[in-house]
Amino acid sequence: MHGISQSAIWVKEPLAETGVVIVTSAALPAAMIDALHREIDDWDQVAYLVVEQAEALMLDWLQFGASPTGPGTCRAGQLLRGVSKGCLLLDVEAGPVPALTWLGSVCGHPLRVFSLGDAISQAASNQQVEAILSVTRTLVKGVLQDRCFS
């Protein structure tokens, strides 16, 4: 895991081939974060960012958004700088209110939200990981098609 700040950690950093970045809160159960990491570890088209302090990261971005230096100097901008413009962010939300959707606005990345619902049970964890991977496969396929036909 590679952190650029205390606010977020790249569990799997983006590569040139990356088409989808899974973004989750660190509040997700560690077993689910580890399972997602294992499943995408050899998948070059997918990166994984875990946000530990969403509110602090967002406030930093909002502060720099009004600055003439622009969003590239904020921590979120630094995190997303290596993510290509055509890359999709997949915001996996564990609660009823999305808390990370603003990340798409930092550098202009398209963002999709996937909600796990209010509660994440240990029994349903494997099913939830499979559901996230299914959505990720669909998004990667779309990004690759767009790259091939544009």
| pLDDT band at residue 97 using 50, 70 and 90 as cut-offs | confident
Sequence spans of domains, the chain: 2-149
Which of the listed CATH numbers 2.40.40.20, 3.20.20.450, 3.40.50.920, 3.40.50.1370 matches domain 2-149? 3.40.50.920
Supply the Cα-derived Rg of the chain in whole angstroms: 15
Give the whole-angstrom CA distance, residue 125 versus residue 77. Answer: 31
| pLDDT band at residue 118 using 50, 70 and 90 as cut-offs | low
Please determine, for residue 150, whether its predicted confidence score (pLDDT) is greater than 80. no
Helix axes 30-40, 125-149, angle to 10 degrees: 40
* pLDDT greater at residue 117 or residue 42: 42
How many Cα atoms are found within 13 Å in the side-chain-facing hemisphere of 136?
25
CB atoms within 10 A of CB 7: 21
Nearest in space to 109 (alpha carbons), one of 126, 80, 133, 85: 85
pLDDT of residue 95: 79
Checking DSSP bridges between strand 2-3 and strand 8-12, what pairing results, if any? Answer: antiparallel
Note the pTM of the prediction, 2 decimals: 0.89
